[in-house]
Amino acid sequence: MKVYLLNSGSLVIDRSNVLWNIDPGIPVRFPVYSILIDHPDGLFLFDTGYDYEHVQRVLPFEEPIQQSNETIPEQLKLCGYTPEDIPVLVNSHLHFDHVGGNRFFTKGKTVLHRKELEQGRNPEPFERYGYSDKQWDHADANFETIEGDLEIAKGLHLYETPGHTIGHYSLLVQFENRQPILFSFDAAYTHENLEKEIQSSFHIDPVAGVRSIRRVKQLAQEHNAEIFVSHEMEAFQTYKKAPDCYEG
């Protein structure tokens, strides 16, 4: 099995957005990435980064920086694939920085939490920026909604971690010959969120958010997994990026 991290560039938010109510007024640039898994059952893509044009139009204050090879089609090409090769796209959740390339996937199915699909189509007013990019809801999208924890393929475990959004999933990847990796997605932007048990300031249910942070830590401990956080530049710089991969 091979696990590729696809670089989607970076954005800027406030440190008080990363760590709810902590240190307002300090801008932080953070990475955005997706995950491609070459599995014995086929190719699985988790999330699709952000769409540069959308961010420039709707959230220019997040100062997007995206190189020309940091789109989803270009990142897949680095690994030897095209969007048409991917039968299963999973969205951890539907925030704009996780669905920006969904529109390229017109053949396979898109798997996500039932509640997330409902919420993305009818968000709360305070979620309007988060769910501002609706390009995932295109005519050729073939949604398969799920609920509860699910092993979507052997060793690929989706765990419900709501709070950041109502239908958020984290992903545990169990290899044959390598330490497992637990992708927290936005249940924890950074290791500091994990340590302090403070979630990001973008959330729908802060009580659930704290429980999900604890769940991520508990799962990592149970499975002796390394946690990969979603939006920490310092951690991301140490991760292997496509075309390099984690294999085992």
Nearer to a copy of itself, 14 or 85 (CB): 14
Is residue 17 a contact point for a copy of itself (CB under 8 A)? Answer: yes
Helix (H/G/I), strand (E/B), else coil: 155: coil
Q: What is the b/e burial string over 63-100, where b = at least 16 CB atoms within 10 angstroms of the residue's CB?
A: ebebeeebbbeebbebbebebeebebbbbbbbbbbbbb
Pairing of strands 156-160, 88-90: unpaired
Q: Which of 96, 105, 202, 236 binds a copy of itself (CB under 8 A)?
A: 202
Q: Can you tell me the distance from the alpha carbon of 205 to that of 188, in angstroms, rounded to the nearest whole number? A: 14
Binding to a copy of itself (CB under 8 A) within 152-171 occurs at none
Q: Terminal CA-to-CA distance of the chain, rounded, Å? A: 6
Is residue 88 a contact point for a copy of itself (CB under 8 A)? Answer: no
Q: Which of 21, 68, 177, 237 binds a copy of itself (CB under 8 A)?
A: 21
Region binding a copy of itself by CB under 8 A among candidate stretches 17-25, 35-43, 174-182, 219-227: 17-25
Binding to a copy of itself (CB under 8 A) within 101-160 occurs at 124-126
Peptide bond into 125 cis (omega under 30): no
Place of tokens 């429980």: 211
Binding to a copy of itself (CB under 8 A) within 207-236 occurs at 207, 210
Per-residue binding letters, 182-201, with a copy of itself (x by CB under 8 A): ---------------xxx-x
Q: What does the binding site for a copy of itself look like in residue numbers (CB under 8 A)?
A: 14, 16-17, 20-21, 24-26, 124-126, 197-199, 201-207, 210
